Structure 1
Amino acid sequence: MADLLAPGLDVLFVGINPGLWSAATGWHFARPGNRFWPALHRGGFTPRQLHPSEQDELPRHGLGITNMVARASARADELTAEELVTGAQILTGKVERYRPRWVAVVGVTAYRIGFARPKARFGPQPELLAGARLWVLPNPSGLNAHFTAETLGAAFGELRVAARQG
């Protein structure tokens, strides 16, 4: 699945890995029930809610998407720790190359494993990634019942405020 990358993005969103639906369509966060696109809009990143098929509009808003692991799976918990660690290394190279101001990983467990930060929490992280500020967001998958559309939108909104401030 192709990355949505451009030099100097405001925020690069990092999914854990493509789901089977996304792999089939070629669109990030494509499965009906995934709450990424509504959260992106509710958080103030886009003027309207985009459909996954409109993902190519994101760079015009200073946004991009990549995945930590390229391999598609039905569930993110099918990934191995080794895949997440390798994916974090590959992500670091992408950030070095494209230099986004912020990197937002959507999934705290994947972030904890991939970057060896077992106590990481949601929100801004104290360390940088290849010069970019880091933020961890909740996983917007419909399987993540701990967060509602409203609380996801609020979490994305906190990142949006921080990204506007620098």
Structure 2
Amino acid sequence: MEASTDRTIEDVLGPDLDVLFCGINPGLYSAATGHHFARPGNRFWPALYRSGFTPRLLSPSEQDLLPSYGLGITNVVQRPTAQAAELSAEEFREGGKRLARLVAEVRPTVLAVAGVTAYRQAFGAPKAAIGPQRSRIGGVAVWVLPNPSGLNAHWTLDGIAGEMRRIREFLLSGGPGPGDGPDAEPETLW
């Protein structure tokens, strides 16, 4: 696993993405396999299925199927670590800038950041909470999801899937952007 600290995982991207999911950074297990959210016990893939985004439970090794469902994956910080706590504030800020450039280029309908602490640090939004954000990144709607890591005991699999389902329902409704009220103008962060 220690040899994985020098590896990065390629983004999973495609044209016309509905949702670009964004993890905090790759864990060493994910870096070793080359697949996002690969560690056994990570709830990303089961939550994605339970939310209705995929017609069956995908394994991390099937991540390249995601663009066919209008989905992609990236990370705020590309450097793999054993724990996200090993990342510096500067890495989060630089990762936020990189992510903003990527989102402006790829133009998904929604950027879904899996981890409220990572979102707060990367985009200087200390009061951000789980759910739709008023702010946009690269002109794109932002939704903050719970971290799907098995270490996040505050959220159950059903709770994480429920938050993902809210994004899916938003997309299906074709309604206004997250955080947009009738009088609200969304703020663009980057």
Alignment pair present for 1:70 and 2:78: yes
Alignment pair present for 1:88 and 2:96: yes
Alignment pair present for 1:7 and 2:15: yes
Percent identity over the alignment?
58
Q: How many positions carry a matched residue from both structures?
A: 166
- Corresponding residue to 1:52 among 43, 47, 60: 60
Q: Distance in 2 between matches of 1:22 and 1:52?
A: 9
Q: Distance in 1 between matches of 2:115 and 2:163?
A: 12
Please tell me the residue identity of whatever aligns with 1:142.
G
Please tell me the residue identity of whatever aligns with 2:66.
L
Could you list the runs of 5+ residues in structure 2 that have no partner in the other structure?
A: 1-8, 175-190
Alignment pair present for 1:99 and 2:140: no
Q: CA deviation at 1:162?
A: 1.0
Root-mean-square deviation (CA, aligned residues, Å) is 0.7
Q: Distance in 2 between matches of 1:76 and 1:46?
A: 27
Structure 1 length-normalised TM: 0.98
Structure 2 length-normalised TM: 0.86
Is the contact made by 1:28 and 1:52 (CA closer than 8 Å) also made in structure 2? yes
Q: Distance in 2 between matches of 1:12 and 1:25?
A: 21
- Corresponding residue to 1:26 among 28, 34, 37: 34
1:150-165 correspondence to structure 2 within 5 Å:
150-165=158-173
Could you list the runs of 5+ residues in structure 1 that have no partner in the other structure?
A: none
Please tell me the residue identity of whatever aligns with 1:131.
G
Structure 1 runs (4+) deviating above 3 angstroms are none
Of structures 1 and 2, the one scoring higher in RCO (CA 8 A, sep 6+) is 1
